[in-house]
Amino acid sequence: METKLFGDKKLTISPLSKKDFKFAKEFLDFINSLIEEDAKILINKKINLKEEAEFLEKGVKSIQNKKKVYLIAKDGNKVVANTSIELGVYKRNHIGRFAIGIRNGYRGIGLGTYLMQEIMKLAKKELSPNLKIFQLEAFENNKPAIALYKKMGFKIVGKIPKQIQYKGKLIAEYIMIKNI
């Protein structure tokens, strides 16, 4: 666990572990806050405590099996961000799929940049078999995310039209990759 200052916020960053099971309610509150604000993430239906607890358990298993790395940022007990990289399967097991979410009120203070650097380092160290490519998807209208990914060395390699239902429209999704 590490404590770091982002703007005026003192946050702790740590990998997801069994110890987090008792904070399932805080994790639920975090993900549902993103859903409530209609953030530019795939999930659009609020989840319940049972689903969140199952998600955390599954995550810890994948981490133990070296198929996933996962970092959490907390402000006290409040979950304010998460990021993960998960290995693909079979003929895609050289690809690490990246995801990130930061709670409203904690954006634009360098947390995304830091978490992204740390999770990529962790993925290179922990995942097995070894990664060759980082990959992610971003809604075409998610300017902060695309700017962050470009800054971290990701390149747009594809744009798939009409992938996402967003505020009554069908919008495109970018596929971005970074070679290792």
Ligand X SMILES: CC(C)(COP(=O)(O)OP(=O)(O)OC[C@H]1O[C@@H](n2cnc3c(N)ncnc32)[C@H](O)[C@@H]1OP(=O)(O)O)[C@@H](O)C(=O)NCCC(=O)NCCS
Amino acid in the structure at residue 69: V
Say how far apart CA 77 and CA 162 lie, in whole Å. Answer: 38
- DSSP at 65: T
Tokens 């990998």 found at: 15
Select 60 or 138, whichever has its Cβ closest to ligand X: 138
79 binds ligand X (CB under 6 A): no
Chain position whose Cβ is nearest to ligand X:
112
Number of C-beta neighbours around residue 156 at 10 A: 14
The span of 67-75, 104-112, 156-164, 171-179 binding ligand X (CB under 6 A) equals 104-112
* Distance, CA of 176 to chain centre: 15
Which amino acid is residue 97, in one-letter code? R
How far apart are alpha carbons 25 and 8 in whole angstroms?
25
Q: Between residue 16 and residue 45, which ones bind ligand X under the rule CB under 6 A? A: 39-41
Closest distance to ligand X from the beta carbon of 170 (Å): 17
Least separation in angstroms between residue 116's CB and ligand X is: 8
Which residues, 135 to 174, sit near ligand X by CB under 6 A?
138, 142-145, 147-148, 151
Which residue ranges make up the site for ligand X (CB under 6 A)? 39-41, 100-102, 107-113, 138, 142-145, 147-148, 151
